[in-house]
Amino acid sequence: MTTFAYLGPPGSYSEIAAIAYGGAAAEYLPLASMPAVVTAVETGAATMGVLPIENVIEGSVTTTLDLLIHETDLRIAGETVIPIQHYLVARSGMSLAQVKVLYGHPQSLGQCRRFIDRVLPGIATIASLSNSAAPAEALADERPAAAISTLRAAELTGATVIARDIQDRSGNVTRFILLSQEDSPPTGDDKTSLCFGFGERDRPGILVSTLQEFAEAGLNMSKLESRPSKDVLGEYIFLVDINGHRSEPNVAAALERVRNKVGLMKIFGSYPCWHATPAIEQH
């Protein structure tokens, strides 16, 4: 049976994404951190791992990016996009006016910044490892504490909903990736994710010249961002998504030309592009 590792405890958005991949027939393994998800797949404790990689409000999840760049050779084998609906929850009987402490995952705190600033100004915030851990921590706190939570986590922990849909944007969504030992075979509608850096090859115009290889091959680049190399101050690694599978001849040729220009190159994987379906949009 396929086992999906995800950032737990149960009730997190990562669990929701894992279930979107695996359905009722799979097994699910909640873990305490995103690095633990990677290790579980690397060691065979899980078949696949699910990690958040990008939110429409807060942008990229840097922990996931750094794991892909520096710490693992696992491949991205899929992606899905999950609607994010944040709830303010607390123990039964507590009112909004009584809340003095707020627990939340750092991404969730950022996604609900407007609500916090307007409704809970000056409140003490405490970072939680996940959206499902936050309500449990709030309920265990002796102080009048609330949490930013998923609805499922509130139900699992017995927390009461004080306010709903507190995210800054109603269209808040997060993209999750599926990590596996191998990426996916070509489907005709695929995406390839990679990173590269220049190191000692860095010179004026080298980034433009490198990206031009994708344009000349007729490949659409759907994402470009940078992360610090963690080796030299002012040195960056560039992360790119392009349309197409790495096994396709024109994609493979462009990737090889890029490899010849850069000092570091790592292909994270090729996988089917996610497209919204009516079932997802109505969720």
Catalytic residue among 64, 174, 192, 210: 174
**Dihedral of CA 224/226/229/235: which sign?**
positive
Measured CA angle at 129 (ends 166, 9), to 5 deg: 90
63 is catalytic: no
Cα radius of gyration (the chain): 21
Asked if 74 contacts 128 with a C-beta cutoff of 8 angstroms, the reply is no
Q: Is the peptide bond before 144 cis (omega within 30 degrees of 0)?
A: no
Asked if 60 contacts 225 with a C-beta cutoff of 8 angstroms, the reply is yes
Catalytic residue among 4, 176, 196, 238: 176
- Across the chain, the runs of DSSP E, i.e. the strands, are 3-7, 27-31, 48-55, 59-60, 75-83, 87-90, 101-104, 124-127, 145-149, 160-164, 173-180, 190-197, 221-228, 236-243, 264-272
196 is catalytic: no
Asked if 164 contacts 44 with a C-beta cutoff of 8 angstroms, the reply is no
131 C-beta neighbours (distance < 10 Å), count: 30
What number of CA atoms fall less than 13 Å from residue 167's CA on the CB side? 21
d(CA 7, CA 256): 35
Catalytic residue positions, numbered: 174, 176
